[in-house]
Amino acid sequence: MKESNYIKLEFPSRSSNESFARAAAAAFAAQLDPTLEELGDIRTAVSEAVTNAIVHAYPDTIGRILMRLRILNGNVLEIMVKDFGKGIENVEEARKPLFTTGGSERSGMGFTIMESFMDKLRVRSVPGKGTTVVMQRAIRLRVGKR
């Protein structure tokens, strides 16, 4: 049985860390031998989740963001992005396309893109305590590689 692997990263909710988070996720995912498209999907979903935490969890302050990446059985990458910020009152509403409280610099498409680029998306939030987003994506095994 393949030994599972994981990383945990913690960083402050500064927008300059968005590119760091997706680059780190892509570097970790590389061991699953993803295609360029799969890698692009992972970078996109991580960028959306981390941006949500930066913009919505900590609107007026800098807080902690925790990202954990795990490899699960079946060549599945699991991405967890957790914050300890203000939380989401109504998760169902927040997940709807075009819903945003972020003003004209946001499109309200973040969760829609996470959903369409990942196989599974779970969002748990407690107002005043924080939000946890967990996403999974199976990376197809390719013949003739490795």
Partner 1 sequence: MKYAASFVSGRLTVYLAGELDHHAAGEAIRVIGELIEDNMPRECVLELSGLSFMDSSGIAVIINAVRRMKALGGRLTVEKPAPQPRKVLEASGIERLIAVAAGT
Per the annotation, the verdict on 64 as an active-site residue is: no
Instruction: Tell whether residue 56 is a contact of partner 1 (CB under 8 A).
Output: no
Q: Which stretch binds partner 1 (CB under 8 A): 1-9, 38-46, 62-70, 73-81?
A: 38-46
HSE value, Cβ hemisphere, 13 Å, CA-based, for 95: 12
Q: DSSP per residue over 108-142, as a string? A: S-HHHHHHHHSSEEEEEEETTTEEEEEEEEEPPP-
Member of 116, 122, 127, 140 binding partner 1 (CB under 8 A)? 116
Task: Please identify which residue in the block is written with the tokens 């196989």.
Answer: 119
Task: Give the residue, chosen from 63, 109, 136, 138, that forms a contact with partner 1 under the rule CB under 8 A.
Answer: 109
Q: Both tokens of residue 11?
A: 């960083």
Residues near partner 1 (CB under 8 A), total? 28
Q: Which residue out of 17, 38, 43, 48 is catalytically annotated?
A: 48
